[in-house]
Structure 1
Amino acid sequence: MKYITLYIFTILFFTNALAQNIDSSMTIDDLKLESDSIGFNELDVDDMLNSVFSEKMDSMMSSWDIQNRFNFDNSEVTTLDFPKNLPDSVYINRLKEIEQVVDLSYNKVVKNYIKMYTERRRDLVEVMLGLSAYYFPIFEETLDKYDMPLEIKYLAIIESALNPTARSRVGANGLWQFMYGTARSMKLEITSFVDERRDPVKATDAAARYLSKLHDIYGNWHLAIAAYNCGPGNVNRAIRRSGGKRNYWEIYYRLPRETRGYVPAFIAATYAFEYHKEHNLVPRFPEIELSVDTVMVNDYLHFDQISAKIHIEKEQLRALNPMYRRDVIPAKKSKSYPLVLPNNVILDFVDLDTAIFAFERDKYFPENTLMDPTTSNSSYFTPVDIKGKAKVVYTVKAGDNVGFISSWFKVRASDLRYWNNIRRDMIRVGQKLAIYVPEKDKEKYEKVTNMTFSQKQASIGKSSAPTKTLETKPLDSNYEYYTVRKGDTLWDIAQKYVGISADEIMRLNELKNDRGLYIGQKLKIKRKG
């Protein structure tokens, strides 16, 4: 009988914040009083509610996992009245009452994110409250291990909305949204069969180690959190351009646009979770077992084998074990892997382990080997190992496509898609693509982004085909037209027209979200009056 090590995840909540001082030069009241001098009373609309976060939440709520693992018709969950338009003093006093190490500043930006969580996106917050019963104990145990503030757990709300299979449009993956290169540098395993960015335990450990390093650099949790999102380089540049200032709010406008909303959203998420009862937010629990144990497996095992022998559906196995990309645990005697199971079936697995491993073994593992991933499912492939390679950033130009770009940099198109989360080969003008090339050729490939199309084609021994002139459709006189500019979102554009909503612009122009926008695009706007 195969030996299986059994251990139980201890589900504990740590209630006391750690006694650790941070460099914070402004209190909540100070920031509120000084908001005029910093410019928060004149914030741009897009800064007050970043569309990136709305898009993440929309993606979360429409995902298969959420739609199929939560019962939104549950009679126990009712729509309650909830407080709206609370005065600033309520938010300020409540934030003061939260005993946290990370500074919980308050201003108009934070207020707008609080209202997003407590008023506009209550459905998602209730889902996340339910999921937090499973994930937060894991986060807190790890943060305690590294002597970090336990409230850092709320960062996962901003990163992934507690979706372990979340994948951003730039390729970040998992609960803590690690990019491929960063994940490998933090010793997370990524293969055709396993992606530890989606392992709640391993990814949380890596995130804690990474955040701890960032805090060592800046001595300030706001800056460490910002650097987690946009990288230390961007934070360092923001500090330098602001004359050496190291307060997050003082370098706010020097940071990338998405990062500006990152700390405010973190503060707002902390508030929403700490005061969800005051806002009548009711946790919605997934229809999967949240009380779980873990066994260590030391031989190849397919989810179908488990499902066939014990009473558990394969979808539940996937939900509890999101790190396995092909329903296969590629374990062997020299390298074991964890399998998370509900408490009510864990002993069945231990009792029936021999029968489970033997079930149709030749079908799943012919000659006791893993199946060739290229023949079983073409959507999976082994990404090129970027260890020892240099990162080059290429800016997409008009006329570019995935095939052209991969040929110019001599990389596989599949790797280019994987590094940058490109789906259906959709790229847009101005998009920044990360490409990994040999160290010795870095300088050569850095020049590619500034070449003309003809020069790039010539560099691989091909001539450029004549550019076809695109026919432009005549403009309809029944509508106004808006030309999309860099940085525009549908919400931004709607604010320029009285009585026009972002949803109306989407319907009129057959768009699904902001990703359908590109610079120079002509959008129909319904004339009023």
Structure 2
Amino acid sequence: MTPAVEKDSLAFLKINPVDVRWDLNDSIQPEFKSNLDKLVNAWYAENAIKTEAYEGPETKYIKEQLADSVYIKRLQSIPSMFDLSYNKIVRNYIELYTQRRRKQVELMMGMSEYYFPIFEEILDKEGLPQELKYLPIIESALNPQALSRAGASGLWQFMYSTGRMYKLEVNSFVDERRDPIKASYAAAKFLKDLYKMYGNWPLVIAAYNCGPGNVNKAIRRSGGKKNYWDIYYRLPKETRGYVPAFIAALYSFNFHEEHGLYPRPNQFPEVCDTLMIKEQLHFDQIAQFTPVSKQKLRELNPQYRADIIPAFNKPYSLKVPFESAMAFIDNQDSITSYKKEYYFNLKDKLVNPRDRYQKFAHVAPNGKAKVYYKVKSGDAVGLIASWFHVRPSDLRYWNNIHKNMIRVGQNLAVYVPKSKVSFYKSFNSMSRTQKQATLGKNYVASVEKPSTVETSRSEDGGDYVYYTVRRHDNFWTIAKKFPGISNFDIMKMNNISDAGSLKVGQKLKIRQKS
């Protein structure tokens, strides 16, 4: 049971705890906890924080129930322009941070040593309260590559339309919503505009999360009240915990030692330099001639979506460790010319990535011509690559193939010698045996084992066969084994609606048609 609040502390509560029916089960939103959990396993956190080697201070943490008066006194001691209200919901978020998600909080504290100075400088320039630096903790758990289910991106979780409204560039190569500096300036402008509307920081924070339209609607439905706690239940469900979480984050970072929480050491460089790039570059080119790795370039420059700096119309910034800046300047000509034809086409124009798996713009190999091969049943990436005398990795790269997944009927682009275009085009009309013969190999068609097909007679006298599903089977390949039977006939006969539900060893009833 939660300890009672001392009478002399009740004046600090911004709500009447008797008049409001708090639903503690609903106070912490699932998506908020999910964002914290994802942080631990995120690629970004795994690489930005020394998670394995970390050995924190030898402080034994003892889970204890603090009196409400302790939390209230501590919140009162924090210099803040915000109303740091306290109630059971705020307490619930404080306990989430200090008790149930301790590892995540220590990860965020470690990353805050890199990001908070950036936020603080920009907030100071824009004349905004320094406490707003805690907003990205609630929005993204300090992960610049965070992407919400609604499509909000970056540290400050800008939606596409809001980002464009505040001049953030978003295209196939650049997403400035992920740029810590540009997104922070945009967030500061957005927050200033919201403060002009409300003149009330809790409402500003709520509007930042759910939009001013939803806050205005909540104000109207509550009879014009403009206190956050008065409109709490009029706000969207996912926004109700936003201000309590903000207060809890501010508390947890200010009183982390009292709860045995300490920052995980981060791997960001202590000093960075920013270079202005005026030619398109790939991170691989930079890593080849400087001490900085491609992985570190990604950590410091999360705004570049495809490892490419698309500086062919205007300059773009590149953040590098200070010791790598001079190496870049000394080797700039070598960097820009290194494998330029490989990463960019001959006309110096970028090719848009075709999907999220492609790591760089692909170009046609020199002296090669493109032909298309239509995938047939039983084909595999390695097999096709052997027929066309190319590497499987190249075939995957040219066609954006992920995990060797190809489908029957798919047209695959293959780059072959120009002198052999007609020969390789003929592969589309060749049988499997003929294609294998080009490699000097014989192909023997697989013969079904007798045990895969069983014959029986149903009660109505009809003849059926039962087919045992084998590895790599699907409804289409099975139907081909039985003339006059379609894949849909098999599914209907066995009352199956999901075409992907087959399991090895499963028996399928198939009725022979006369």
Into which bin does the TM-score normalised by the smaller protein fall? 0.5 to 0.7
Alignment partner for residue 347 of structure 1, among 308, 326, 334? Answer: 326
Once the two structures are TM-superposed, the CA of residue 188 in structure 1 deviates from its matched residue by 0.5
CA distance in 2 between counterparts of 1:270 and 1:378 reads 38
Aligned to 1:107: 87
Identity %: 50
- Contact 1:131–1:162 under 8 Å retained in 2: yes
- Contact 2:24–2:89 under 8 Å retained in 1: no
Q: Aligned in 2, Cα 1:156/1:283: closer, same or farther, shift over 3 Å?
A: same
CA distance in 2 between counterparts of 1:31 and 1:249 reads 14
Aligned to 2:133: 153
Once the two structures are TM-superposed, the CA of residue 95 in structure 1 deviates from its matched residue by 0.6
Instruction: Tell me, yes or no, if structure 1 residue 319 matches structure 2 residue 310.
Output: no
Instruction: Tell me, yes or no, if structure 1 residue 68 matches structure 2 residue 39.
Output: no
- One-letter amino acid of the counterpart of residue 75, structure 2: L
Once the two structures are TM-superposed, the CA of residue 153 in structure 1 deviates from its matched residue by 0.5
Q: Aligned in 2, Cα 1:374/1:327: closer, same or farther, shift over 3 Å?
A: closer
CA distance in 2 between counterparts of 1:28 and 1:209 reads 36
- Contact 1:28–1:104 under 8 Å retained in 2: no
Once the two structures are TM-superposed, the CA of residue 77 in structure 1 deviates from its matched residue by 2.2
- One-letter amino acid of the counterpart of residue 201, structure 2: W
Once the two structures are TM-superposed, the CA of residue 51 in structure 1 deviates from its matched residue by 1.5
CA distance in 2 between counterparts of 1:283 and 1:378 reads 33
CA distance in 1 between counterparts of 2:16 and 2:59 reads 34
1:51-84 deviation digits (Å, cap 9, x = unpaired): 2210111122121122233332325325632352
Point out where structure 1 has 5 or more consecutive residues left out of the alignment.
Answer: 1-26, 382-467, 473-529
Equivalent positions of 1:51-62 (< 5 A) are 51-62=30-41
Equivalent positions of 1:107-506 (< 5 A) are 107-332=87-312, 334-374=313-353
- Contact 1:302–1:328 under 8 Å retained in 2: yes
CA distance in 2 between counterparts of 1:379 and 1:350 reads 29
- Contact 2:54–2:264 under 8 Å retained in 1: no
CA distance in 2 between counterparts of 1:346 and 1:203 reads 24
- Contact 1:229–1:259 under 8 Å retained in 2: yes
- Contact 1:31–1:107 under 8 Å retained in 2: no
- Contact 1:110–1:264 under 8 Å retained in 2: yes
CA distance in 2 between counterparts of 1:175 and 1:130 reads 15
Once the two structures are TM-superposed, the CA of residue 355 in structure 1 deviates from its matched residue by 1.5
- Contact 1:126–1:282 under 8 Å retained in 2: yes
Aligned to 2:11: 30
1:91-144 deviation digits (Å, cap 9, x = unpaired): 111111110111111111101101111111110111111111111111111111
- Contact 2:14–2:86 under 8 Å retained in 1: no
CA distance in 1 between counterparts of 2:299 and 2:14 reads 47
Aligned to 1:407: none
CA distance in 1 between counterparts of 2:311 and 2:14 reads 58
CA distance in 1 between counterparts of 2:331 and 2:9 reads 58
CA distance in 2 between counterparts of 1:290 and 1:226 reads 34
- One-letter amino acid of the counterpart of residue 282, structure 2: H
Q: Aligned in 2, Cα 1:58/1:75: closer, same or farther, shift over 3 Å?
A: closer
CA distance in 2 between counterparts of 1:55 and 1:45 reads 18
Once the two structures are TM-superposed, the CA of residue 375 in structure 1 deviates from its matched residue by 5.2
CA distance in 2 between counterparts of 1:211 and 1:379 reads 36
- One-letter amino acid of the counterpart of residue 263, structure 2: P
SS at match of 1:118: helix
CA distance in 2 between counterparts of 1:174 and 1:66 reads 14
- Contact 1:192–1:380 under 8 Å retained in 2: no
Once the two structures are TM-superposed, the CA of residue 158 in structure 1 deviates from its matched residue by 0.1
CA distance in 2 between counterparts of 1:102 and 1:116 reads 21
SS at match of 1:268: helix
1:360-387 deviation digits (Å, cap 9, x = unpaired): 1222222252331245867699xxxxxx
CA distance in 1 between counterparts of 2:120 and 2:156 reads 14
- Contact 1:373–1:380 under 8 Å retained in 2: no
Once the two structures are TM-superposed, the CA of residue 294 in structure 1 deviates from its matched residue by 0.7
- One-letter amino acid of the counterpart of residue 47, structure 2: N
Q: Aligned in 2, Cα 1:247/1:56: closer, same or farther, shift over 3 Å?
A: same
Aligned to 1:457: none
Once the two structures are TM-superposed, the CA of residue 174 in structure 1 deviates from its matched residue by 0.2
Aligned to 1:77: 56
1:408-433 deviation digits (Å, cap 9, x = unpaired): xxxxxxxxxxxxxxxxxxxxxxxxxx
- Contact 2:48–2:267 under 8 Å retained in 1: yes
SS at match of 1:367: coil
Q: Aligned in 2, Cα 1:187/1:380: closer, same or farther, shift over 3 Å?
A: farther
- One-letter amino acid of the counterpart of residue 193, structure 1: F
Once the two structures are TM-superposed, the CA of residue 228 in structure 1 deviates from its matched residue by 0.6
SS at match of 2:258: coil
SS at match of 1:296: strand
Q: Aligned in 2, Cα 1:227/1:34: closer, same or farther, shift over 3 Å?
A: closer
Q: Aligned in 2, Cα 1:245/1:198: closer, same or farther, shift over 3 Å?
A: same
CA distance in 2 between counterparts of 1:28 and 1:308 reads 62
More RCO (CA 8 Å, sep 6+)? 1
Q: Aligned in 2, Cα 1:105/1:66: closer, same or farther, shift over 3 Å?
A: same
Aligned to 1:460: none
Q: Aligned in 2, Cα 1:209/1:36: closer, same or farther, shift over 3 Å?
A: same
- Contact 2:9–2:69 under 8 Å retained in 1: no
CA distance in 2 between counterparts of 1:215 and 1:296 reads 34
CA distance in 2 between counterparts of 1:279 and 1:292 reads 33
1:249-299 deviation digits (Å, cap 9, x = unpaired): 111111111111000000000001111122121111223424211111111
| Structure of higher CA gyration radius | 2
- One-letter amino acid of the counterpart of residue 345, structure 1: S
CA distance in 1 between counterparts of 2:268 and 2:134 reads 23
